[in-house]
Amino acid sequence: MTTTENNKLVALVTGANRGIGLETSRQLAAKGVTVIMGGRNEASINQAAEGLRQEGLSVLPVVLDVTDDGQIEAVRRKLEGDFGRLDILINNAGLITGEIFFENSSAKVSREALRQTYEVNVISQVALTQALLPLLKAAPAARIVNLSSILGSLAINRDFEGQMATVKPLAYNSSKAALNMFTVHLAQELSQTSIKVNAAHPGWVKTDMGTDAAPMEIVDGARTSVELALLGEDGPTGQFIHLGDQLPW
Ligand SMILES: NC(=O)c1ccc[n+]([C@@H]2O[C@H](COP(=O)([O-])OP(=O)(O)OC[C@H]3O[C@@H](n4cnc5c(N)ncnc54)[C@H](OP(=O)(O)O)[C@@H]3O)[C@@H](O)[C@H]2O)c1
């Protein structure tokens, strides 16, 4: 996609106060995109945005707990009033609860962990996207990026001998599988429009969620989101992507 000084692309990144969301905001803004950074804690998102502003980047913080319909509506109104459209939505906010390397998590996961995880990782992504769809349709060629995970791949979870064989937190993995389903359904629904919808696996990235054990630096962990946010007309839709490669569903 192309940008001009007077008609810069506008992006909303959720969970932008830290981790991959913060770095995605930085990289998009460095490419000339006006980035609206959503965060559920006002002080934290303001501080994150101020840090990027001091780097000379064009970003704007908004308070957005993705589970809060009132805050979703307030952000929608702000985007409508300030820009009249949204070119890029990055559904980045995500949550993992409880123990990750937990054998037979399916036999033990609590109702509460399932509820909490689904609320943030699935239901809120759908609700936010629905609320912003009219603004995305008002953009010439909008891009929606859903931050999934290789742990949401049924094929990889079914490989009982594979590298991920012991990484089976049911709430998280199944929430990302559901997000993948949303990606495919929405991509099909929007296939006659110029909007592209894709699921991103960022890699195993050194963040609070990924921990220091992760092999990937945050700068690389944001690359898949940025690539999918700036896909050209000939780019894919309805795909599950990591650094340009398609992943198995
Ligand atoms: N790191 C990895 O290795 C990895 C691998 C695969 C996929 N992913 C996915 O990539 C995305 C970003 O992960 P990360 O590693 O950057 O995670 P992180 O460091 O734990 O950051 C998570 C972000 O989500 C925000 N968040 C959580 N609940 C929210 C809510 N209700 N409303 C708004 N924001 C909320 C957090 O805000 P607070 O600061 O307020 O908590 C934080 O900004 C997630 O969707 C994750 O599942 C990460």
Instruction: Give pLDDT tens digits for 28-62.
Output: 999 999 999 999 999 999 999 999 999 999 999 99
Q: How large is the C-alpha radius of gyration of the chain?
A: 17
Average pLDDT over residues 95-101: 76
* Domain-located, residue 150: yes
- Decide if 96 is inside a domain: yes
pLDDT (0 to 100) of residue 105: 83
20 lines ligand 1 (CB under 6 A): yes
Q: Are 157 and 122 in contact (CB under 8 A)?
A: no
Q: Residues 136-159: what's their mean pLDDT? A: 97
Question: Cα dist. 239→52, 56, 75, 104, 154 in Å?
Answer: 30, 34, 28, 29, 14
- Whether 4 maps to a domain, the answer reads no
Whole-number mean pLDDT of the chain? 94
pLDDT at 86 over 80: yes
Q: How confident is the model at residue 127 (pLDDT cuts 50, 70, 90)?
A: very high
Distance of CA 192 from the midpoint of ligand 1 (Å) = 31
- The values of phi and psi at residue 85, to 5°, are -165, 170
**Three-state SS string across 47-62, please?**
HHHHHHHHCCCCEEEE
105 within a domain of the structure (yes/no):
yes
More confident site: 83 or 2: 83
**Tokens found for residue 56:** 């000379």
CA distances from 102 to 136, 166, 203, 224 (A): 40, 7, 20, 28
- SS3 category, 209: coil
- Which atom of ligand 1 sits closest to the CA of residue 208? 19
Determine, yes or no, domain membership for 229. yes
Q: Which domain holds residue 154?
A: 10-246
- The domain total for the chain is 1
Q: Is residue 3 part of a domain?
A: no
Residue with the nearest Cα to atom 17 of ligand 1? 209
Report whether residue 49 contacts ligand 1, using a CB cutoff of 6 Å.
no
* Whether the predicted pLDDT of 5 surpasses 50: no
Q: Is residue 100 very low, low, confident or very high in pLDDT (cuts 50, 70, 90)?
A: low
Task: Please state whether the predicted TM-score (pTM) of the whole model is above 0.75.
Answer: yes
Query: Ligand 1 centroid to 17 CA: how many Å?
Result: 9
* Cα gap 97→70, rounded to integer Å: 25
Confidence at residue 104, expressed as pLDDT on a 0 to 100 scale: 55
Quickly state the pLDDT bin for 97 (edges 50, 70, 90).
confident
For residue 126, tell me if it sits in a domain: yes
- Confirm or reject: Cβ of 66 under 6 Å from ligand 1: yes
Asked if residue 212 has pLDDT above 60, the reply is yes
Q: Do the domain assignments include residue 35?
A: yes
Please determine, for residue 106, whether its predicted confidence score (pLDDT) is greater than 50.
Answer: yes
Query: CATH number, domain at 75?
Result: 3.40.50.720
